Homo-oligomer: A and B are copies of this chain.
Amino acid sequence: MNVADLNIIYILDLVGTFTFAVSGALAAAEKRFDLFGALFVGFVTAVGGGTTRDIILGLTPVFWIEDINYLLVIVTAVLFVFLFIRKAFEFPRLLLFFDAIGIGVFTLIGIEKSRAVSILPVFAILMGVLTAVMGGILRDVFSRKVPLIFKREIYATACLIGGIVFFALLFFRLDKTIIYIITMLLIISIRLVSIRFGWQLPTLTTQKEGKG
């Protein structure tokens, strides 16, 4: 059974796509881009991760060419930001919550698509993380924002832990649906808890930190 065939996974995938497109459109709004700029950045944010994954693995034409729903969801999301931009800013917590769902399901789909081309588990996990984080990284490149994902909170780390647990559970031959649910809930939980408590990764620095 294909991971994308599971209805709940597919719906969560579209929810994640919508949220990522909103986050891209908001970045475009911050930079005062026009409607085309917002559509471009929204699209890149929403499908940039999966597209990079498909290209690296040679799974072309890429996934969103086969299914028009991704495009429809993204255009809807950008127009939503365009029409109700103050609304979108009124619910930052809601955005973070859906964003967490997004990285959870994107990691899972990235892993399953990679397993289908039979690569080593470590690369499947890497592709899962890439699927989840590359959209946000490309958003920051094209909208010339400081790449927050490299600075802020536990983000890629949540996906990485989820990926490792996925293969651990697979090793113990658990039911596929159970594995999917645990993996996604784990990523979402780590992400949300890390935001709540302000967890961060250590930072490299070239300067001596004078005072503690």
Contacts and interface: CB of A to CB of B under 8 A. Distances in A.
Contact of A58 (B61, B71, B157, B201): B61
A57 B63 CA distance: 10
A188 to B, nearest CB: 18
Which 7 residue pairs are nearest across A and B when measured between Cβ atoms?
A37-B150, A58-B60, A29-B204, A34-B201, A33-B150, A35-B201, A36-B156
Given A57-B60, A60-B55, A206-B85, A68 B33 contact: no
A11 interface: no
Contacts of A177: none
Query: Which of A33, A36, A122 has the most B CB atoms < 10 Å from its CB?
Result: A36
B33 A203 contact: yes
A51 to B, nearest CB: 7
Contacts of A206: 26, 29-30, 85, 89
Query: Which of A55, A81, A137, A204 has the most B CB atoms < 10 Å from its CB?
Result: A204
B71 A126 contact: yes
Interface in A23-76: 25-26, 28-38, 40-41, 51, 55-58, 60-62, 65, 68, 71
A120 interface: yes
Given A56-B55, A56-B61, A202 B35 contact: yes
Quick one: copies of this chain in the complex? 3
B142 A35 contact: no
B34 A200 contact: yes
A151 interface: yes
Contacts of A68: 120, 122-123
25 contacts: A26-B206, A28-B150, A29-B204, A32-B204, A33-B203, A33-B204, A34-B200, A34-B203, A34-B204, A35-B201, A35-B202, A36-B150, A36-B155, A36-B157, A37-B151, A40-B137, A55-B60, A57-B65, A65-B119, A68-B120, A82-B202, A82-B204, A85-B204, A141-B141, A144-B146
